Amino acid sequence: MRIGSSVFLIALGAILAWAITPGLIPNVDQTMVGYILIAVGVIGLIASLVLASPGRSRTRRVSETRSVVDPNTGETITRNESRDAGI
């Protein structure tokens, strides 16, 4: 669950819990459904913030070195390349 969907669930739950007149939806306790949506949204928001924190290293750095001899001059050319490889 991403941050946007968590905020959406919190907003939807708040609307159901506090803004709509109780009994508008028959046979459903919309206040309880609103509180459940708020709780799920808060849990999703906390989880997405923890997973997106900069301290968590989900990426790894890849380094590559290539050495080539120039046939004209006989000079050795070394190329270093490093990049982030991850999701």
Residue 76 CA to residue 60 CA, distance in Å, equals 29
For residue 65, the tally of other CB atoms under 10 A from its CB is 9
Burial 37-49 (b: 16+ CB within 10 A, else e): bbeebeebbeebe
Q: What is the DSSP string of 1-15?
A: --HHHHHHHHHHHHI
Predicted local confidence at residue 83, as pLDDT: 77
pTM of the model: 0.61
pLDDT score recorded for residue 71: 85
Regions in the chain scoring below 50 on pLDDT: 87
**How high is the pLDDT of residue 86?**
56
